[in-house]
C-alpha cells in the first residue's frame, strides 16, 4: 500500500473527526485515530520495519499531520503510546494480559502511559530507580513513585519499569502492566504551565498488589525491553522534530513575505534571507536523515545508533529553528500560544528519551562504525 493511500482514507477521516471537535481531548484523539484505522496501520502489513516494531514512514506521515492541527501536548500523548508503549505490549504473547491490553489500545478502547522516570533518581539514570517489586506468595507488590509521566492523568493502564533486585545489573528490572484504578495507585497532576493535553503527572504506588500475569514478558528482561523501545521513541522524536521545524519555517516565511518595513517586504532584507536560508539547510539535512532512518540500509548503523543520531540532530535543528524564527517574528512570537511558548515546550526534544549529551556519548562510542573505519589488520 503506498503511503499516499494510507494517508488518504484513514488519516484524512481521523483528521476530519478531530477538526470537527472544537477542543479534542487526548483520549478522544486516540480513539478517533484508532477507530479510523490509523493506529493499527502503524503495525499491520505491509511489513513493519523490524528495527522499530512499526512502519516508520506511516509514523512520520501521522506525526506530521497531527502536528499541523493539534497542540504539542496532545501530539505528545499520541506519540508516547504509538511509538513506545504499544510496541512493548505487542511483543508480549497474544493470549497474555499484555497482549490483550495491546489489542484494546489499538482498538481505541483504552489509553496507555509509560512510567520509567523515577522520583528517586535523575531521569537519565534509570538503574538508580527506587520503585520496586517484592514477591509475596503468588502476588507482586509494587511500591514507589514515577514523575513527569505523559498520560499519567488520562491513561487507563501504565507500563511501569521497576526494580526486582538490588543493584544496577540490567536483569534486575521488570516491566509491569498496572491498572491505574488499582488500590494503592495515586495519580498527581504535574504543576506546570506547559504541555496542555499531555496529561503529565506523577504516579505513586503504595503497596499495589498485582498477580504475576501483570508482568510484561520475562521478569528479568524489563530494562532490556525498554532499551529496545527507546530507539523507536527516539526515531519518533526526530521525525516529529522535522515536521515541527518545517511547519514553523513555512509559517515564518509567510509572515516575512507579508510584513513590510520601510515600504519593502521584510523578506527582501539580505540578512533576513541569509539567516532563513541557513535554517532551510539545517532542516533539509534533518529531512534527509529522516528518509534514511525510514529506509533500511544494508550495512548501516544499528537501530540504537541511527535513532540517537536522528534524535540529537532533530533536537539541535529544532532549537536553532525556533530561536531564530522567534526573533524574526518579533512581537508576534510573544502572543498567547506564540513561538516563544512553543520554544519552551520544544525543549523536551533535547531531554525526553535521553538528553542530547547522553546521545552524544552513545554516538561517540560508535564513531568507528559511523566512519566505516576498517581494521587495517583485517
- SS3 assignment, position 206: strand
Q: What's the pLDDT score for residue 112?
A: 98
Q: Which segments of 72-126 are extended strands (E)?
A: 112-115
Q: Please, which pLDDT band fits residue 355 given cuts at 50, 70 and 90?
A: confident
**113-219 fold:** Butyryl-CoA Dehydrogenase, subunit A; domain 2 (2.40.110)
349 to each of 8, 76, 258, how far by Cα in Å?
29, 11, 30
pLDDT greater than 90 at residue 80:
yes
**Structural contact between residues 112 and 155, judged by C-beta atoms closer than 8 angstroms:** yes
Total length of the chain: 378
Grid cell of 64 as nine digits = 506530521
User: Where are the chain's structural domains?
Assistant: 3-109, 113-219, 224-371
- Taking only the tens place, the pLDDT of each residue in 359-374 is 999 999 999 888 886 5
pLDDT greater than 50 at residue 4:
no
pLDDT greater than 70 at residue 7:
no
Grid cell of 366 as nine digits = 560508535
- Span 63-71, average pLDDT: 94
H-type helices in 145-214, by residue range?
none
Q: Please, which pLDDT band fits residue 354 given cuts at 50, 70 and 90?
A: confident
DSSP 237-281: HHHHHHHHHHHHHHHHHHHHHH-EETTEEGGG-HHHHHHHHHHHH
Count CB-CB contacts under 10 A for residue 63.
23
pTM given for the model: 0.92
pLDDT greater than 80 at residue 6:
no
Residue 64 falls in which region: left (phi positive, over 0), alpha (psi -120 to 50) or beta: alpha
- Taking only the tens place, the pLDDT of each residue in 23-35 is 788 999 999 999 9
- Taking only the tens place, the pLDDT of each residue in 152-173 is 999 999 999 999 999 889 899 9
- Span 247-269, average pLDDT: 95
- φ/ψ of residue 10, rounded to 5: -70, -55
pLDDT greater than 60 at residue 243:
yes
Residue with cell 511500591: 143
- Span 3-9, average pLDDT: 51
- Taking only the tens place, the pLDDT of each residue in 321-345 is 999 999 999 999 999 989 999 999 9
Residue 175 falls in which region: left (phi positive, over 0), alpha (psi -120 to 50) or beta: beta
Q: Please, which pLDDT band fits residue 210 given cuts at 50, 70 and 90?
A: very high
- Span 254-258, average pLDDT: 96
- Span 124-146, average pLDDT: 92
Q: What's the pLDDT score for residue 335?
A: 94
Q: Which segments of the chain are extended strands (E)?
A: 112-115, 132-136, 139-149, 157-163, 173-179, 185-189, 201-211, 260-261, 264-265
Q: Please, which pLDDT band fits residue 2 given cuts at 50, 70 and 90?
A: very low
| Percent of the chain with pLDDT strictly greater than 90 | 75
CA atoms of 115 and 178, how far apart (whole Å): 10
- φ/ψ of residue 295, rounded to 5: -120, 115
CA atoms of 66 and 59, how far apart (whole Å): 11
Angle, vertex CA 297, rays to CA 294 and CA 300, nearest 5: 110
DSSP-based helix, strand, coil % in the chain, nearest 5 = 55, 15, 30
Q: What's the pLDDT score for residue 82?
A: 96
The answer as to CATH 1.20.140.10 being correct for domain 224-371 is yes
Q: Please, which pLDDT band fits residue 123 given cuts at 50, 70 and 90?
A: low
- Span 202-217, average pLDDT: 96
Of 152, 294, 196, nearest to 236 by C-alpha is 294
Amino acid at each position: 500500500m503506498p503511503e499516499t493511500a494510507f494517508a488518504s482514507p484513514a488519516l484524512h477521516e481521523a483528521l476530519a473527526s478531530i477538526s470537527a471537535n472544537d477542543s479534542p481531548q487526548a483520549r478522544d484523539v486516540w480513539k478517533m485515530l484508532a477507530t479510523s484505522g490509523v493506529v493499527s496501520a502503524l503495525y499491520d502489513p505491509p511489513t513493519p520495519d523490524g528495527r522499530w516494531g512499526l512502519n516508520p514512514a506511516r509514523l512520520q506521515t501521522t506525526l506530521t499531520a497531527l502536528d499541523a492541527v493539534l497542540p504539542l501536548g496532545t501530539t505528545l500523548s499520541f506519540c508516547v503510546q504509538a511509538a513506545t508503549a504499544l510496541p512493548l505490549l505487542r511483543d508480549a504473547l497474544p493470549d497474555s494480559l499484555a497482549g490483550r491490553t495491546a489489542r484494546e489500545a489499538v482498538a481505541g478502547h483504552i489509553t496507555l502511559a509509560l512510567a520509567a522516570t523515577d522520583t528517586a533518581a535523575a531521569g537519565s539514570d534509570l538503574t538508580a530507580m527506587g520503585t520496586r517489586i517484592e514477591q509475596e506468595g503468588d502476588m507482586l507488590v509494587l511500591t514507589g513513585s514515577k514523575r513527569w509521566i505523559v498520560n499519567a492523568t488520562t491513561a487507563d493502564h501504565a507500563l511501569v519499569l521497576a526494580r526486582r533486585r538490588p543493584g544496577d545489573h540490567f536483569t534486575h528490572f521488570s516491566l509491569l502492566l498496572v491498572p491505574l484504578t488499582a488500590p494503592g495507585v495515586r495519580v498527581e497532576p504535574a504543576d506546570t504551565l506547559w504541555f496542555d493535553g499531555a496529561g503529565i503527572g506523577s504516579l505513586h504506588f503504595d503497596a499495589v498488589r498485582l498477580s504475576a500475569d501483570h508482568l510484561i514478558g520475562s521478569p528479568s528482561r524489563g530494562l532490556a525491553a525498554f532499551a529496545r523501545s527507546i530507539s523507536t521513541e527516539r526515531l519518533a522524536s526526530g521525525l516529529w522534530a522535522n515536521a515541527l521545524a518545517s511547519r514553523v519555517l513555512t509559517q515564518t516565511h509567510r509572515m516575512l513575505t507579508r510584513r513590510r518595513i520601510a515600504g519593502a517586504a521584510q523578506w527582501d532584507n539580505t540578512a533576513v534571507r541569509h539567516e532563513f536560508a541557513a535554517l532551510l539547510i539545517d532542516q533539509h539535512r534533518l529531512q534527509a536523515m529522516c528518509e534514511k532512518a525510514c529506509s533500511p540500509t544494508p550495512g548501516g548503523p544499528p537501530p540504537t545508533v541511527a535513532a540517537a543520531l536522528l534524535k540529537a540532530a532533530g533536537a539541535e535543528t529544532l532549537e536553532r529553528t525556533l530561536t531564530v524564527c522567534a526573533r524574526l517574528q518579533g512581537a508576534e512570537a510573544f502572543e498567547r500560544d506564540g513561538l516563544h511558548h512553543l520554544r519552551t515546550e520544544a525543549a523536551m526534544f533535547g531531554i525526553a528519551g535521553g538528553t542530547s549529551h547522553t546521545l552524544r556519548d552513545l554516538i561517540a562510542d560508535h564513531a568507528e562504525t559511523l566512519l566505516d573505519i576498517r581494521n587495517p589488520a583485517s
